Structure 1
């Protein structure tokens, strides 16, 4: 049997805990998971270089309901990024907890049930922002512009693999 020194064992144990799904990082302000997804409340939101009005605006989000990934928190500010990694610090009042996604696959089929053999209720173009009502296994239930149905999670940006919710 090989002996592992205590310091090495501690390092191995810490690495294992950090990668565990139940050991997810929490935001210091909200105690909500980091990273997590939110959406843009209005049709415009400034992303700043740092958390405060004195910081330069690096990016302006211009699509209402755009899904954004929160990666950090500082007081009333949230560091966010879009699907391309662009972003910065946004005031929390500009963000909503309503879950949305961007469709990444052109002419994505929405199904009546989370089953590829079920009836197709609509086709959605790439770039459409849809509201997420539910996710389970490999499927998410979406609604967009009056159309509703289940879509494969792999064709969406704004939900992580294995993230299930109602």
Structure 2
């Protein structure tokens, strides 16, 4: 009987600990990216709410600013806010080039390294590690380093 009570006590402790870990992993705000070719953003957290925007940009970075069940309130690079199902999003980090002109992509994380390409504002790519003001950036297999301040989706959300 003591063994049975001990096992029940252990199971109860495990059940209490699991939700705390899950919540720690999903504290808002955090970065995510759109993980499908077509994603609807709604005005509220449910399928009955009106569709405000239809996104057709795979890997577009978004900032998760609120969670409600399976719904996430997002902010897109233009500052628009709305709700999207978690199934349409990924934790894979991405970024979008911002600014007024072309941005240089270098071979290494340094402005003195060889320039590989010039990328224009609006280009979306997968984000690598950021260090010293430079981030790894991969857009359709074109890999290099871009200044962190030229990317929306890098740094702290």
Provide the TM-score with structure 2 as the length reference. Answer: 0.79
- Distance apart, 1:33 and its partner CA: 3.1
Q: Equivalences for 1:10-89 in 2 at 5 Å? A: 31-89=25-83
Aligned pair count? 136
**Aligned partner (choices 143, 147, 150) of residue 145 of structure 2:** 150
Distance 2:86 2:55 in 1: 14
Contiguous gaps of at least 5 residues in structure 2 = 1-19
Distance 1:145 1:92 in 2: 25
Q: Equivalences for 1:122-133 in 2 at 5 Å? A: 122-133=117-128
Structure with the greater alpha carbon radius of gyration: 2
- Distance apart, 1:113 and its partner CA: 1.3
Q: Is contact 1:80-1:89 (8 Å) kept?
A: yes
**Structure with the higher helix share, 1 or 2:** 2
Larger relative contact order, structure 1 or 2 (CA cutoff 8 Å, min sep 6): 2
Distance 1:123 1:33 in 2: 35
Contiguous gaps of at least 5 residues in structure 1 = 1-25
